[in-house]
Amino acid sequence: MLAFLWIPTTLIAAAAQTARNATQAGLIKTIGTIGATQVRFLYGFPFSLVFLALVAAISGEAVPRPDGDFLLFTLAGAVSQIAATALMLAAMKDRSFSVTTAYVKTEPILIALAGLILLGDNPTLLGWTAIIVATAGVVLTALKPSAAAASGGWKPVALGVAAAGAFALSAVSFRGAIMGLETGVFVIRATTTLAWSLGMQTALLLVWLALFDRKALVGSFTAWRQSIPAGFLGAFASQFWFIGFSLTSAANVRTLALVEVFMAMFVSRRIFDQSISRREVVGMGLIVFGVALLLWSHA
């Protein structure tokens, strides 16, 4: 049963992340892109410490001690995730919520390649096929030249794909950090990595904003009522992403996570009143087929 635990774990993470993205997108207008990025980490870090304390108490295990490799992997994941989040939120300024999510979801094939090179995670032939098919569905959903020219040009496309690459690097780095811890069951290793990563991200962004954007720093504190839910949802989603990374390759987790495109479509229609085209529906059909192939490869 443990071999399939990554599936519900990933679905929970995807749902929480969709809600967090929607919350963060609403903060951009009030505190700016960097301020909205900071919210995810500043207000998520305390929740990650609560999660770690609960996991340690329930499991009865000591928190694993980090070594140099763990800290390097975690720092690489932390920095690339900050960059990815900022790029994603910047893309949302110029493009719809669901389509921006689709741009970002080109990441699975990038994760598969990075995981193969950095960690030796090599999907099966069917797994590679699933990743490619699902990614093709995302590309079909996202890349619409006529719409891009009419609404923001190619800038949001470039920002979204750049965000995908940075998210890919962060996912592989976090899996490397989790797998590098020598003690503890998978849950406490995942939660330890989460707490360290959010701590690093909070510290880095506090210094950056204090030096270069004090207005956004002040805004991230004054908008605390909106920010606390975003921080909780971010930490909650990351908790389940990291558990998924501790159980299977990052490529498997992030390919299944393409169901988030459907969740984003629902949010776009119900909250942001944004329409979905027939082309996007066909692309989403390919995503479903790719995800089905992935699950079949693990059956």
Q: Which residues, in sequence order, are CB contacts of 3 under 8 Å at separation 6+? A: 247, 298
What was the pLDDT predicted at 107?
A: 81
Q: Taking the CA atoms of the chain, what radius of gyration do you get in angstroms? A: 18
The answer on pLDDT for 274 being more than 80 is no
User: What's the pLDDT tens digit per position in 60-105?
Assistant: 999 999 999 999 999 999 999 888 877 877 777 666 665 676 677 7
Mean predicted lDDT score pLDDT of the chain? 83
Q: Which residues, in sequence order, are CB contacts of 170 under 8 Å at separation 6+? A: 76, 77, 78, 80, 81, 84
User: What's the pLDDT tens digit per position in 23-60?
Assistant: 777 777 777 777 777 888 899 999 999 999 999 999 99
The percent of the chain in helix, strand and coil, each rounded to the nearest 5, is 85, 0, 15
How many helical (H) and strand (E) elements, i.e. helices and strands, does the chain have? 14, 0
What pLDDT band is residue 150 in, cutting at 50, 70 and 90? very low
What was the pLDDT predicted at 186?
A: 94
The answer on pLDDT for 215 being more than 90 is no
**Which of these, 220, 197, 173, lies nearest to 35 by C-alpha position?**
220
Dump the DSSP string for 140-185: HHH--HHHHHHTTTTHHHHHHHHHHHHHHHHHHHHHHHHHH--SS-
Percent of the chain's residues with pLDDT above 90: 34
User: What's the pLDDT tens digit per position in 280-295?
Assistant: 777 777 887 888 888 8
Contacts made by residues 123-126, CB under 8 angstroms, sequence distance 24+: 123/249, 123/251, 123/252, 123/297, 124/297, 126/293, 126/296, 126/297
Q: What are the tokens at 83?
A: 């960059």
What was the pLDDT predicted at 146?
A: 53
Cα–Cα distance, 192 to 177 (Å, whole number): 10
Cα–Cα distance, 41 to 37 (Å, whole number): 7
What was the pLDDT predicted at 273?
A: 58
